[in-house]
Structure 1
């Protein structure tokens, strides 16, 4: 698996900090309350390491069901990635009900409305994040529509189909009335990750990496 240096990891963390900061502002408008996001912790994980990290997601009343909101993105042939937002199911539903407000009580088929609202959450957070990254990289990403699914923690890795490299940006979101822990995964092959790191080095003026 590809290695990234500490300075490259710091550059990626700063990039995602900016990108997710823009996303939180848009998200706050939707849920109509202040949203604070922690500085993302960025890690490059193998499949086995990813499985271990996913198993650390908090259980809620003994339930370890996780909602995934996923979109595919590509910048030509240079960078291709699956961007996935993961949040515990109950936390997702709490956020959705805040979004729906009084309409949550007025509709009969709330499950379909929740599905649409979850897709909108992913659309706001992931697309805002990718849009900011695209500006930094000087690229244009083409993205798919968000796909909403859920699975037990133990089934997540098989469901996500990670390749050789998974870039994890772990965040926590704090709403006025509740805390929501979430992860944003970027599932990509090694050539895409190398291109991402190369562009980030250029953006932050880090120069070429030293040759071992």
Structure 2
């Protein structure tokens, strides 16, 4: 199973793409409030792949150490959400959060907290918006910061003997002059993905019956 086409119809994939883009746009608003400057987040691609393939894909694309902020989410569908980006860009992101006046030698001391808060804003904003549009409650755990290569980041979320699927979103961050690429990965088992698909189908039905003319 190497793409969303394996389990979603074209219409379902389009609906999911819309949900994700709306969620990421809302997350950008929250991040803009936190950093006090214009934030643009875009999702040019969405893939549904296994954890093993996701780990290999990140390794091939980046070829360097990564940082991830991970949070569990639970509701009618559940799993693990991760915001992943190259470690080399982490201090740029921290600088954007804490401001230019912070001395360089002090950045490392607050890096963990700033990254966790950034991940929390983006992941919570994205998933909460998606859950709201799907008319489902969703709770999220506290964020934790992980470091390592693709294999290291994806291995902890795996259940022994099980290779769950990853809804893999390639995202572009743009904060003024800071260009930071990254990924959002939602790791879910097959029952959760089946539930998500059913909710997407319900969402499509509501949109199709909407007299306001809103279209996917």
Regarding TM over 0.5, the answer is: yes
Instruction: Judge conservation of contact 1:35–1:176 (CA < 8 Å) in 2.
Output: yes
From 121, 124, 134, the counterpart of 1:124: 121
Counterpart residue number, 1:156: 153
Q: What secondary structure, in the 3-state scheme, does the structure 2 residue paired with 1:57 have?
A: helix
- Superposed CA offset, 1:101-131 (max 9, x none): 25631875x4341111011001100111111
- 2:167 alignment partner, SS class: strand
| Residue 197 of structure 2: aligned partner | 197
- Which of 38, 42, 45 in structure 1 is aligned with 2:42? 38
Q: Which residue of 2 aligns with 1:147?
A: 144
Q: What are structure 2's unaligned runs of at least 5 residues?
A: 208-216
RMSD of equivalent CA atoms: 2.2
Are residues 1:66 and 2:57 paired? Answer: no
Aligned residues of 2:85 and 2:181 also touching (Cα < 8 A) = yes
CA deviations on 1:151-185 (whole Å, 9 max, x unpaired) are 12453332442733111111111121111111000
Q: Structure 1-normalised TM-score? A: 0.85
CA distance, structure 1, for counterparts of residue 91 and residue 203 of structure 2: 38
Segments ≥4 residues shifted beyond 4 Å: none
State the alpha-carbon separation in 2 of the partners of residues 161 and 19 from structure 1: 25
Partner of 1:9: 13
Contact 2:43 2:169 in 1 (8 A): no
TM-score, normalised by the number of residues in structure 2: 0.84
Counterpart of 2:134 in structure 1 is 137
Count of residue pairs the alignment pairs up: 200
Unaligned runs of 5+ in 1: 208-212
